[in-house]
Amino acid sequence: MFDVSTSPPQLPIGDRQSAVRLLGPFGPIALNPKPSTPRASSAPTLPVPPDRIQKVVDGHLKRKDSKPANLKKLTAFIKAQLSKEGTEEAVSQVIKRLTDSGMDNLQNNKVTYPSA
């Protein structure tokens, strides 16, 4: 059945919080973790095809749901739509096309859209 000769690891004497800090919520934690090294991207960034940019613009203008109300949320939305191709240059191209289509960028980075 059970081997009684081996006892479970002893927790330090003290309050429960120090034991949780030592063990963590799911088991022992490393006291000196190795620093993570950033991975270098080996894939070169390719330019976004113009039809992909136009597809994102058209899809955003036809969107019936709520649209991003400020520039920061709009930028994040566009990056998500372009996924791996979402470079700063591609995002600025999409925003320029949206602006040409009637989107306004007001003060405080608020965004308004043309009525559909």
Which structural domain, as residue segments, surrounds residue 72? Answer: 50-112
Residue 36, domain member (yes or no): no
Q: Which is nearest to 99 in space by CA: 79, 114, 84, 110?
A: 114
Residue 94, domain member (yes or no): yes
Residues 6+ apart with CB under 8 A from 46: 85
- Whether pLDDT at 2 is above 60: no
Residues 6+ apart with CB under 8 A from 67: 60, 74, 111, 113
Residue 66, domain member (yes or no): yes
Contact 31, 21 (CB under 8 A): no
Q: How many domains does the chain have?
A: 1
Contact 67, 113 (CB under 8 A): yes
Residue 88, domain member (yes or no): yes
Residue 77, domain member (yes or no): yes
Tens of pLDDT, residue by residue over 24-46, are: 566 666 555 566 666 655 556 66
Residue 28, domain member (yes or no): no
Q: Output the pLDDT for position 115.
A: 74
Residue 2, domain member (yes or no): no
What is the distance between the alpha carbons of residues 103 and 47, in angstroms, rounded to a whole number? 24
Residue 23, domain member (yes or no): no
What share of the chain in percent tops pLDDT 90?
1
Q: Output the pLDDT for position 21.
A: 55
- Whether pLDDT at 59 is above 70: yes
